Amino acid sequence: MIRGRTAMVALCVASAACSSKGGSDSGRRASTNNTTTARPNNSVQTARPAVPAGSGTRIVVDVSESHQGFARGRALALEGLHGQVIEASLASQGLNVPFERCALDEQLHCQSALTIQQLRDPNTYRGRSGALDVALRKPPRAPRPDQQQPDPLDPFRVTILVTDGAQSSNTPFNAAATGDVACTGGADPSCIAALLRQRIDEGYGVWVLRLRLPFNGRYFSERRIDREMFARTTAHIADVNRNERSWSGVTLAARRPNFTGDSGSFEFSGARPLLLLVLTRDIPTGRLLVNEMLRRVRTERIGAGTADDIASSEWAPFEGYDARVTTAARMDSGGAADEVRVDRARVQNGTLTVPVTCSLRGRARVRVQGSIAQGSLPPPTFADVRFEWRRETPAARGVGLAPSAIRAAPGPFEGVFDVDCTGLPAGRFRYTWAVWGQWQLSEQAAQREWWFTENAPNSYEMPERVFGLADMARNVAGAGVQRAGALSRVTFELTRE
């Protein structure tokens, strides 16, 4: 998010010799549209030793000015988060060699690693913006290999981004935009969603953790506000203090608004959410790491003390369920059924092939059976999963499907097929049916997720929430959920004698 002005950001993060050039709101301005294209990844330096592909962890810490309030709220909470939760979890999983912690403002600064002591110092957080796109975006292809900037994610087995959210935007969320288009105006929710979707397409898993931490400092709306807008803010905060059970134990307050600057800042105290985005191509490792961080957060009790300090979600991938058809047998006997012979079926490449021979008088039902297995995790609650039998070959007499529902749950399933050779000419025929699966985002279920209920529809009214979170989450998780295709098939090789 755009925060305020910074001086010598590449050096101030790591050196106590730098001092602030002032904090007046009137001196702050939003980034221009050429911010993204003008950001070379200078701090992903070529001088440091090469990191073996897929090794260790990079932590990217947003050091924009709006994070000062976390350090002033309770600095030990930040120290515990980075030391006792993140670093300890990485060490327990063997993911801390090599280890790199970078500062992120308008660029990514990795030359001098941030220390735990700096992370709890409010003076560390003086960046004008937190350009999350720089930490996620694949650099453009250079004309020569020696000119190629390294990918900010690929050299590392795990990347963790620590931030309070995406940049504010005056434009509506664009669900279909690519990163090149969505990021032209900065790292707003449309931009971050597009970049995360791209990483998911490249095989990355994405997890999001939300931790409420004590906060006492300036909150930046990143837009000009007036008295009426601030009145809406104070009315909302009063309503939260009065009615929100999930914030029990914490009192929120907003005061001293600035109505003249473009930052729309005001003093905010109580607690705010901090987000941890975890990305890795090693899905099992990502899940283990996230579970370990969740365990340590609860053990260390570093949150704000609300009823719901911690929440998490896996936005990708979703293994869900797998289906396999395995056996086929004739159900009927006597009369016309005896004129249908079902020979031994064979399975190859997910398809059950069933040889059937019949006479002109043959009619019988054939039961096909299979099973649905669950992946490493069940589908998320916000995924609507449906299975059905679907004909893949053109409709024809000979083999038809009786009503056969397939429940989207682990366990056995079946399909009953009517084999009718009466009226068929002599010859050979093939009929293929698929177990078709379709996943899509359930909007009704999504509205019960924490990333929906904790969404802020604008950047000034609800400072205890995350601006644009619902749109971003729905778009990223929905892209991971959205899929359709055949999980297994059955082919009848019918010979009419």
Name the pLDDT band for 379 (thresholds 50, 70, 90).
Answer: confident
Burial class (CB in 10 A: 0-12, 13-18, 19+), 384: middle
Question: What does the alpha-carbon distance between residue 315 and residue 312 come to, in Å, rounded to a whole number?
Answer: 10
CA-CA distances (angstroms) from residue 412 to 272, 380, 391, 486? 47, 21, 20, 17
What is the pLDDT, as a whole number, of residue 428? 94
pLDDT, position 99 = 93
Spatial separation of the C-alpha atoms in residues 238 and 298, rounded to whole Å:
28
Confidence of residue 474 (pLDDT cuts 50, 70, 90): very high
397 vs 232, which has greater pLDDT? Answer: 232
Residues 133, 189: contact at Cβ < 8 Å?
A: no
Cα-only R_g, the chain: 29
Q: Can you give the pLDDT at residue 144?
A: 83
Mean pLDDT over the full length of the chain: 86
Distance of alpha carbon 465 from alpha carbon 451, whole angstroms: 9
- Round to whole Å and give the CA distance between 288 and 89: 9
In this predicted structure, what is the pLDDT of residue 145?
Answer: 82
106-145 per-position pLDDT tens digit: 999 998 778 989 999 999 999 888 899 999 998 888 888 8
Q: What is the DSSP letter of 127?
A: B
The CA distances from residue 109 to 2, 33, 82, 114, 117, in Å, are 17, 22, 18, 9, 17
205, 280 contact by CB (below 8 A)? yes
| pLDDT at residue number 16 | 32
What token pair was written down for 175? 């669900």
* DSSP 8-class letter at 271: E
* Phi, psi for 389 (deg, rounded to 5): -80, 135
Average pLDDT over residues 346-373: 95
Of 291, 292, 465, 483, the closest CA to residue 386 belongs to: 483
pLDDT at 3: 44
pLDDT tens sequence across 234-285: 999 999 999 998 898 899 999 999 999 899 999 999 999 999 999 999 999 9
> What is the band of 456 on the pLDDT scale with cuts at 50, 70, 90?
very high
Query: What number is the average pLDDT over the span 197-209?
Result: 93
Q: What is the pLDDT of residues 5-31, one digit of tens each?
A: 333 333 333 333 333 333 333 333 333
